Structure 1
Amino acid sequence: MTNDPVAPDLEVTRVMAASPTRIWSAWTDPAAIARWWGPDGFTSTVRELDLRAGGRFDVVMRGPDGAEYANVYVFGETEAGSRIAYVHQGSPEHGLGPSRSVVVLEEVAGAVPRTRVTLRSFYGSPADRRRHLEDFQAAAGASQLLERLERVAAEG
């Protein structure tokens, strides 16, 4: 679990048919991330990926309409196979300030490898929260992102 003092603005959980190791691998391989990062209909190009505290994740997402969305994230605490924390550096062109997210991977006991993946996001202001959740449909996008992550991780 997280040590966050406040409730997240967004929390999405999915139990995936893949081991924590496979899910972690999908996070650490730029070619894999390009296949799952973003909501349905988006493609992504990873320009930089350094999954360690202080490392950067620089990615360009392309929407179904061809619009491009450059995003830069800086990783905070990372724990291989169980936790990734990062700060999105914001998007002035879309009126968004920095936001923080935490991804927690928890193995689910059973005969078949499964992992509970929880994504929690914290926005910097009520205006950012509204923009993410209402204008950009962040909850639906996060759910789709986790579905896509599961497909890539299950492929191995």
Structure 2
Amino acid sequence: MPVIDVTPDLDALTLTITAEFAAPRDRVWDVYADPRKLEAIWGPPGYPATFVEHSLVPGSRCTYYMTGPEGERFGGWWLITAVDAPSSFAFDDGFADADLNPAADMPVSKNVYTFTERDGVTRAVFVSAYADAAGLQQVLEMGMVEGASAAINQIDALLAAA
């Protein structure tokens, strides 16, 4: 399994997930840069994602929804704040309703995804920072650790198929 560490830190208001992939950094980067590939792994198993808008360009907005097993839609959005391809990108990440309107009553996280390669193995560090402990606690209680880990663990199969 690619996920090698998960560290929620209520004092620092962060959730950090570290994963390693037996693939070059450019190939792992491409999973996030290509919306069709990203759709295959963004939702946990059984909740495939559909990206309606996607562009890894600072200032751009990405919108998506995950479809549950019974057809229910769970929306989300990103606001891309920085890109240093293929090393990292940063974005604000929030929840949205089924029509992809931002959900004002849900927490927004500031995220930095970093990719480094050594000897053909790519280490990805996914850091999500929250404005307050209540927001972090809310997503932890919603199953963010389990859902994000399951989603990331799908990347190996996608890379093997490519």
Structure number with higher strand proportion: 2
Output the CA distance in 2 between the equivalents of 1:84 and 1:146: 16
Instruction: Show the counterpart of 1:73.
Output: 78
How far apart are residue 138 of structure 1 and its match? 0.9
- Give the TM-score of the pair, scaled to structure 2: 0.82
Instruction: Show the counterpart of 1:84.
Output: 89
Residues 2-45 of structure 1, C-alpha deviations (whole Å, 9 max, x = no match): xxxx8452111111111111111111112111111111211111
Instruction: Show the counterpart of 2:126.
Output: 119
Task: Note the 1:3-152 alignment, pairs <5 A.
Answer: 7=12, 9-91=14-96, 93=103, 95-109=105-119, 113-134=120-141, 136-152=142-158
Instruction: Show the counterpart of 2:159.
Output: 153
Identity of aligned residues (%): 27
Structure number with higher helix proportion: 1
Q: How many residues align?
A: 147
Unaligned runs of at least 5 residues, structure 1:
1-5
How far apart are residue 142 of structure 1 and its match? 1.6
Q: Is the 8 A contact 1:37 1:149 kept in 2?
A: no
